[in-house]
Chain A
Amino acid sequence: MSLTTNRIKTTALTRIIVPASLGHVGATGGGLMANDNGTVTFAQGGAGVWILPIKDLTVGDTIMRFTIRGATAGAAAKTLAFSLMKSVSASGTITASSVQAATSDTTATAHAIDLETYLTTPSKVAVKEEYFVKCTMTTNGAGVTATLSSVEILVKKTYGQET
């Protein structure tokens, strides 16, 4: 027999998996999804921006950490910059601001991207806000590519009490 109640509030940490292919090209093109791997690839010479909206957040959630997953190929320079952003509507415009930037990945050699960033100040999702990760991918030199797989978001959620 199950207990049905709305009088117990439970807090929990959970890790949301956000596939990179849920995102879209930002103001600067470069990322391509035309593959069967569910990934986003930035070819050599790109300086593209990719916007990955964070699904499955609920007002009141607290974001603690974000982790970028992917891979780079080629042994020349690349600069991969990631920032957790939020935007809010105002009269005539939508204002986006950086919540926290990750340390840029500038490793020249081919490697797996596994970039974990704890927020200095955990960010509580407020009414009217939406969150996204802005990925700015600069690849230079022959044979250099960068591929994004997913972003993992560590969130503190509260379940159980009806609002």
Chain B
Amino acid sequence: MSADIDLINVTIRFGDFVAVRDVSFKITGGEFFSILGPSGCGKTTILRTISGFLPPTSGAVRIGGRDMAGVGPNKRPTALIFQNLALFPLMSVAENIAYGLRVRGIGARERRAKADELLKLVALPGIGDKKISELSGGQKQRVAIARALAVEPQVLLLDEPLSALDLRLRQHMRAELRAIQKRVGVTFVYITHDQGEALTMSDRVAVMNHGVVEQIGDGPAIYDRPATPFVASFVGENNGITGRVTGLADGFATLETPMGLLRGRDGAGLSPGEAATLFVRPERLRPEPAGFAARVESTAFEGHMTHVALTAADGHSLTMSLGRDVCVKDLTPGAAIAVGFSAEEAVVLRQETAR
């Protein structure tokens, strides 16, 4: 029912441009796997390669252990959900869903039964005879999922399908997609540039940048233990403070920075004297009399959190997010404040060299 996907040293070039550079990873059958990255990082290219529309320049793709070289998209056990959904506007909802069955020569009655069954699965019973143009954005979304599931794929590939929806619907569809995936048990490969989507839905996330996979891991691993400065700053908000490593002990690194000596977990096997960046999340910063000095620039109230923009030594901008349980006397712009964090909640990473 669901299949593993192996990418082995996959490189994809368009002329001189390397879209994907020597990428290898394995997606386990039945997993909800997201590929997260900014636009142009090569994530859609990888999806098109898995679905068979784009042969890799070098390397291999295996689905369910079978090498896919020379196997066309219409012969692969994958189904792709396009960013714009690509529903057929001249066919009814049921005809759309049953199209994959029709080209497989399955009879009209059986097709219709399957379409109705899938419409129930995506919580849209009884709309089979509607036109595509009569559906709302969220309904189109579900019909596209039903159409892809109709051919009983072992792998479902989703190319940012939620990006056209408004925020509330998007959040609702996240939960819905996750539930559908649990129900059908098919391997989902989900492409997104939205880290919230990736973190909430996925079993594992691969973070990509410039055609390279920077890190693969589950949500907490990506968020709390970023492997590279790119992952640290792309996934969620982060404060980066650059400096030079002066001391290493027990898995912690001490960094000499404009704000004084700061300590965080050594996330990269650093050596003394190296240039490095310490990352600490805004919600991990807090007022601390023993900490370094900063000045309040502005505050933004967001309900469950208050975000405080700070300027520290050297004009370094930082953000501190305070929960409602933290009481600070003076947050007026210009007020002096001392802030700090605990070393376990910060990570020190080697500075990125230009690629």
Q: Do A and B bind each other?
A: no
